[in-house]
Amino acid sequence: MGWKLGTWALPDAQIRVLKAPKQKVRRISAPRQKGDLISLIKDKYGEHFERLPTLSDETLSYSLVDGKMLFRFPENDRYFDVYLSMPFTKGATERETGRTVLIMGSPRHHIDAVVGQFEGALWTEEEIDGVKTDIKDYGNTVRWINVGNLANGFIGLDYNPNSKSNEGVAQNPEDIQFLSKTLMEYGYDAKKRLFILKPPYIVEREEGKKMRQRGFETLGDWAKKSIKGIRIGNDNAN
């Protein structure tokens, strides 16, 4: 399932604009940026990729300049209203390598940030049954969102054990543990909360609720606790 910025972090007026007839958006063409931590950033020079030395609260707040924050939306769980008006940022992390990209100050989607920057990531158009269809391959990355700063707010990610590895979705507890360890290495606080969500809305999956009941609530929990024998799927945390 995809992540729609309109339903995650824009007010109703802008959401209505996003639901207008789809217009062709120019895709980004850029050489692979060196580094394990990079960003797709929109600034006075336009949109481009940069290498980041580390993560900071200032980095995660950059999108506030362009008004990207968490807004109230009817379909979202009211539980998350406590995080309203916090900075909103999208990210993607590659399995095994930990290479990570952030989208800063740009309305671009995850696919824009991974194509050309991660092995196997592609965005093509094919004609299926006479209809031109976008084909998106996220390589070996897991997409996520950040709300707040390094310690406050939460990390949200999609989860589907039946997904393919190139769909940009966490498939198992190992994916979540690897992502948690990687984000902490880049500067996230161990107390930062992590939620398993159902995009395009901020609604917690039943699997996530059950894992939180078992004590898996933060990046630190996922990074440090044993996940041996734990399988999450089909709305069951076994």
Q: Where are the domains of the chain?
A: 5-19+35-230
Triad 150, 152, 156: Cα angle to 5°: 80
**b (16+ CB within 10 A) / e for 6-43:** bbbbbeeeebeeeeeeeeeeeebeeeebeeebbbbbbe
Q: Return per-residue pLDDT of the chain as tens, 238 residues.
A: 444 433 344 333 333 333 333 444 556 778 999 999 999 999 888 999 999 999 999 999 887 655 555 555 555 556 676 566 788 899 999 999 999 999 998 888 999 999 999 999 999 888 777 788 888 999 999 999 999 999 999 999 988 888 999 999 999 999 999 999 999 999 999 999 999 988 777 788 888 999 999 999 999 999 999 999 998 875 445 4
* Residue type (1 letter), 189: D
Tokens of 34: 């060196």
pTM as predicted: 0.84
35: helix, strand or coil:
coil
